[in-house]
Structure 1
Amino acid sequence: MPELPRVLLIGLGSTTGSALDALMDRFEVCGLVRPGFDGVVSMALDAGVPVQADARLSAVVDLIENLRPDAVVVSSYDRILPGHVVTAVPCINVHYAPLPRYRGRATVNWAIINGEESTAITVHCLEPDLDAGGILLQHAVPLGPESTTGAVYDQLNDLQRRFLADAVERRLAGDRGEPQDEADATYSCSRVPADGEIDWSRSTATVDRLVRALDGPFPPAFTFLGTDRIDVLRAVPVTDAPTYAGRIPGRVIRVDRAVGHVDVLTGDGVLRLLEVASSAQSHRPADLITSVRHQLVSGAEARLATLERRLAAYEVEVRP
């Protein structure tokens, strides 16, 4: 029986488990680069796959040079492999976006935030440039008005599980893929937790997309009630809301204590909060936001309120 091609898998994020699934069926996975210990690492060790926790670029390059695999597969890694590596061994990358559009990071989040009609899984040959290289495989995933990042990742992971091995085999057979058109390239920057702050003066659709884009393992969308941070985990636009000629974005207009929902004014409509969290504990919105006199505000407004409260307390303390 012929020996299976030896493949090294590099993966730090939530896409790596389905990549490992796909590769173990048709290749000898000679190593996995992944820090920490989780279900993916456990699966690899149970299958006899050696795991390297050191994901620094220098350590990964040393591992590639020592193992001399037939191919290197990258599924969620935040470094660019140097040119001498990608020219010495076939290197394949999995990118959750319709390359050449949406090169870079947080691509599914940005696609939902931007109201795109679809995203995609793209498997491409690695080059020493950000998400460049010939496309071996690309499958689209539609995005709708209820799509969340978590659900889209599930769909993309399933596609990776089904088709990644085919793309790797094509690359090992000498296929360099379809060249990307650089004129069509767009980029998405990384996101930090602070980017999830809700601006209630934006449209209902914009706020709704932000909440859905920060579903699942990502730091959630958030707002403030007074000086207390509230994470917004689930929300939906209210399609039959009354028209407000007098509008203060962020003002609570309805508290449904029976069901637990809370309706909040946006810049052009109403968003219904279905699930929120405070201090990492999930709550019904009506259990935290209890009055139509309440207003959800920005972090800057919350900090200003804190300063004003401290100043008032100080004035009372020092007043003769």
Structure 2
Amino acid sequence: MSSEQANTKPRVLQLGAGPTALSCLEALIEGFQVVGLVRASEDADGERDATIRRAREFGVPALRDDGLGALECYIDELAPDCVVVSSHARILPVRLLEKSRFINVHYAPLPKYRGRANVNWAIINGEPYVGITIHTMVPGLDAGKILYQEVVEVREDDDVATLYDRLNSIQRARIAAIVRAHLNGNEGASQDERKATYGCTRIPEDGEIDWSRPASEIQRLVRALVPPFPGAFTYFQGRRLLIWRAEAVIDPLCYEGRVPGRVVSSSRKTGTVDVLAGDGVLRLYDVQRDSGERESAAQLIPSVRGTLGLRTSDLLARIERLERLLSEQTTVSR
């Protein structure tokens, strides 16, 4: 394709920080002149970032996400016909929204689940489906007109990674046509504000397991936080333990004495560990110590004498050890 032909395509600037940005970029490159990808990266040169590497392969400038001021400068300099946002945490002010057309890709069936961590919250809350909504951006959180919407069933074996894969596939298939239709005059349909709900921000600490909760609820928390998210976690012998795969046991044995978090079975044959929850039993498959490797649960928890969760006795034992070390160091220094 000649540079003259490329220049006749609509100019699009993409803004995206999270795991949905790559499929969006790949779709836009085919039908638009993507004048830049605005994206923060954990490494300075972006070489470990698949989205930035893909942009460079197609000659799309990777622009550092240095805040709203920098974004305003990018828009003024590049003059895009449309800014497409896919995975971005900041709320854009009116002064920015007035500079171009803005389209946002939101992984929820708006007006439900406006805000953040929508797929995670949907799994945690036991929703039967998640969704993708492509909408115009206006002042107000995810409040623009709907250009396209599709729902996706949450299957029993789904986790947040498999759902993101399916939603990313829909985005890849639909986003270019939706952007083109909007530039050609499609303004979309207004949302029903009376039905709006909101998902609050999640932080890694929210992944701590409360073993007094139902086993099915804990299982959903585990499924909601697999990579690229930081994982559901508990404590074992006073140290943090990530739980990567678990399932509620169907028709478990009935325990008259119930201590939530107590290990009731550890099988070398299957590699699994059964743990009491508030109403049943959760079976653990894959676990990981902080800074360790993934391993089968039974390798790490071989005995039924263990209890998961941070207990007062664990904290007191740790305090006693620290006091003893401090005392020994003080004695040596004298």
TM-score with structure 2 setting the length: 0.90
1:124 and 2:135 matched: yes
Q: 1:315 to 1:7 in 2, by over 3 A?
A: closer
Looking at structure 2, the residues matched to 300 and 76 of structure 1 have their Cα atoms a distance apart, in angstroms, of 40
Query: How far is the alpha carbon of 1:192 from its aligned partner?
Result: 0.8
Aligned runs of 1:1-320 on 2, under 5 Å?
3-36=8-41, 37=46, 38-280=49-291, 281-298=293-310, 302-310=314-322
Looking at structure 2, the residues matched to 313 and 241 of structure 1 have their Cα atoms a distance apart, in angstroms, of 44
Gaps of 5+ in 1: none
Q: Does the CA contact (< 8 Å) of 1:11 and 1:76 recur in 2?
A: yes
Query: How far is the alpha carbon of 1:301 from its aligned partner?
Result: 6.2
Q: Does the CA contact (< 8 Å) of 1:198 and 1:298 recur in 2?
A: no
Residue range with higher mean Cα deviation, 141-150 or 295-304: 295-304
Q: Does the CA contact (< 8 Å) of 2:15 and 2:37 recur in 1?
A: yes
Q: 1:57 to 1:145 in 2, by over 3 A?
A: same
Looking at structure 1, the residues matched to 92 and 311 of structure 2 have their Cα atoms a distance apart, in angstroms, of 39
Q: Does the CA contact (< 8 Å) of 2:238 and 2:310 recur in 1?
A: no
Q: Does the CA contact (< 8 Å) of 2:132 and 2:149 recur in 1?
A: yes
Looking at structure 2, the residues matched to 247 and 112 of structure 1 have their Cα atoms a distance apart, in angstroms, of 27
Q: Does the CA contact (< 8 Å) of 1:232 and 1:275 recur in 2?
A: yes
**Matched-pair identity in %:** 47
TM-score with structure 1 setting the length: 0.94
Query: How far is the alpha carbon of 1:120 from its aligned partner?
Result: 0.4
2:150 aligned counterpart, secondary structure? strand
2:31 aligned counterpart, secondary structure? coil
Gaps of 5+ in 2: none
Q: 1:315 to 1:6 in 2, by over 3 A?
A: closer
Residue range with higher mean Cα deviation, 7-16 or 295-304: 295-304
Looking at structure 2, the residues matched to 82 and 279 of structure 1 have their Cα atoms a distance apart, in angstroms, of 39
Q: Which runs of 4+ in 1 moved over 2 A?
A: 298-305, 307-318
Looking at structure 1, the residues matched to 162 and 146 of structure 2 have their Cα atoms a distance apart, in angstroms, of 25
Counterpart residue identity of residue 29, structure 2: M
